[in-house]
Structure 1
Amino acid sequence: MNGEELRRANKRLALKLGAVAIGALGFGFALVPLYNVFCEATGLNGKTNAESVAPVAVKVDKSRWVTVQFTGTMMPGLSWEFHPQQTSVRVHPGEITRVSYYAKNPTNQTVVGQAVPSVTPGQAAQHFIKLDCFVQAAGPGARG
């Protein structure tokens, strides 16, 4: 292989690698919408209805009870204290109930967090709406 052929081969390889990098970047940006479509189509992941801003009037079923359990997990490396104030509530289906979480930022840095609810089993997610949540916990001992 002479010098000219080697340059052409290197140029082709660089173009192919560039195309792969651009394709990977595009796939990364498309991944979230594709994931949302997949979750909506399959009912997996238990995402709650984030589009509703007010509870819909639903008849409360007083004939039965449902126990709802709560957990709190955080992104690794975040030093917050974060947990539900109560680990479970017993409610009638259709009943609006308030649940509170405790959030404390023990550092001297301002950190912004977002509560992202996930409901399991996934079929139950349609019955949950996150109405409000903490926005910020700043400085030692701040509560959200």
Structure 2
Amino acid sequence: MTARRDENLKMVRKLAVVAVGMFGFGYALIPIYKHICEITGINILALGEKQVPGASTAAANSQVDKSRTITVEFDANARGPWQFKPALASIQVHPGQLATVMYEFQNVQNRAMAAQAIPSYAPRQASAHFNKLECFCFNQYQLAPGEKKQWPVAFVIDPKLPKDVTTITLSYTFFEVGSKTPPAPL
């Protein structure tokens, strides 16, 4: 019986050594990986903790065209009894620059409604260069009676926009979803 017990204790010690070795290897893996990457230069991970030679401290957005300024005008049309308007009438942006504008909406009806906005652009060739990153026009919204909301439109104008385009108008038509469309105003 003692021979078997000695064999079992020997096996437990071996397994404990293997478990400690596996833990140690896993713990050391990240520094080993960083060192290998630094030596071989195959991964930027090794450069994350120190400054890259010749680089500036803050990475500048090289896509912004500071030589041009585009005026972006905002328009809002509502097809129904509610209030819908941009917080700003227009802004000046450089192509490649991220800009955000808020639109305000209020359901002035005494009933809940679901609504969505459809964008349009002028001039027409600007639509291919007007990139919205966040927009309330991507979704439908449910609004309670009297509820007010503000929604952002975050966009970037592509620097490849033709040079003759200096003004872009972003227009939204906000309409109710799932009910009859009210007649056009006279």
- TM-score between the two structures when normalised by the length of structure 1: 0.54
Q: Quick check: 1:138 aligned with 2:144?
A: yes
Long gaps (5+) in structure 1: 1-56
Larger radius of gyration: 2
- Higher strand share goes to which structure? 2
Q: Distance in 2 between matches of 1:61 and 1:69?
A: 19
Q: Percent identity?
A: 37
Count of aligned pairs between the two proteins: 86
Which 4+ residue blocks in structure 1 deviate beyond 6 angstroms? none
The answer to whether 1:73 aligns with 2:77 is yes
Question: What's 1:59 paired with?
Answer: 63
Q: Say whether residues 1:123 and 2:129 are aligned partners.
A: no
Output the CA distance in 1 between the equivalents of 2:143 and 2:92: 29
| Counterparts in 2 of 1:109 and 1:118: CA distance versus 1, 3 Å | same
TM-score (norm 2): 0.42
Q: State the superposition RMSD in angstroms.
A: 1.9
Give CA-to-partner distance per residue, 1:63-108, whole Å, 9 cap, x none.
1110000110122xx1110011001010001111111111000112
Q: Secondary structure at the match of 1:125?
A: helix
| Distance in structure 2 (CA, Å) of the matches to 1:115 and 1:73 | 9
The question of whether the paired residues in 1 share the 8 Å contact of 2:87 and 2:103 is answered with: yes
Task: Return 5+ residue gaps in structure 2 as ranges.
Answer: 1-60, 151-186
